[in-house]
Amino acid sequence: MVTQNLKKFDTPVFPFTAIVGQDEMKLALLLNVIDPKIGGVMIMGDRGTGKSTTIRAIADVLPEIEIVKDDPFNSHKSDLDLMGNEVKLAIQNNESINTEFIKIPMVDLPLGATEDRVCGTIDIEKALTEGIKAFEPGLLAKANRGLLYVDEVNLLDDHLVDILLDSAASGWNTVEREGISIRHPARFVLIGSGNPEEGELRPQLLDRFGMHAEIRTVKDPELRVKVVEERTSFDQTPINWIKKYEVQQQKLREQIVNAQERLYNVELDYELRIKISQVCSRLDVDGLRGDIVTNRAAKAHAAFMGLDKVTVSNIKEIIRLCLRHRLRKDPLETIDSGDKVSKIFAEVFELD
């Protein structure tokens, strides 16, 4: 009963559909929740531009998920790739499984987090004396089937960034201590944010983020006033604001669910795939990650727009997000704003 009462006092979240501007960041987040295999998003921008607000807002608008009750990994009741070992054993033994619906997990990774805090720990003493694998789950376990947000990711230790990217790409986290190994599902959307003034990520790590969104401080005075007024109004009467945007929030929620269901049937013509790879080749993008992510993001965008087939317009909307951070060869170079990507895209696709 205590936990149920506490839920009533959850901090109100600013509605996603009420956020003004920052379209690039919003689109990147939406596409990643439609297809988590895009590989996450890196959001770089000035301080105080609403990065954290927007990320918390996308988590709030997502539909609830069904998990196995009291399971530390938010295990799925039937998908083996999203299931912890204990749940798998229970299913094999035909045991009954209780489930519950929860909000999509949104895990904040603090800058000072240790590897044990992130990955989890194995109690060696318990394992040796009692002969059981005593595992204390970490943040990656909590984030399974949800979002993992790292603010100021450019200040995080490179080794930890590597671990996060590996888990996000493979969907699994493996912890090994003294010859004992534990593996559990860790399928999440990795969202990193940072301020370019405090340093960029190394190109090798940056390349492994599926998308890169840039946000800038709004220059238009009238729009700035509107943003400030809306935020002030929300802080004063959050419940009224949430009610005001309830219909739009529900409409977006349904659009996301429909896109997730439609995604696997979306087609991308061979000619368009060839042109995407031509753009990557002309931009001298290393490896094939750029081609793969662009293909995935184009399909996700088409699904979001309610289409069964990718159009040139879908590719145009997402290609800057997918490729701009892959052009940098020198760690001292700044990231291209995307103009170079747009120029080559227009040439290859023969647009005016």
- 20: DSSP letter: -
Residue 9, amino acid: F
Which of 289, 286, 276, 292 has its CA nearest to residue 341? 276
Is position 177 annotated as part of the catalytic site?
A: no
* H-helix segments, the chain: 2-7, 23-34, 51-61, 85-92, 115-119, 124-130, 139-143, 158-170, 203-206, 221-236, 238-244, 246-262, 270-282, 289-304, 312-323, 339-348
Residue among 208, 289, 320, 324 flagged as catalytic? 289
Which two structure tokens, joined as six digits, stand for 213? 């969104």
Helix %, strand %, coil % of the chain (to 5):
50, 15, 35
Q: What CA–CA distance (Å, rounded) separates 98 from 289?
A: 40
Active site residue ranges: 289
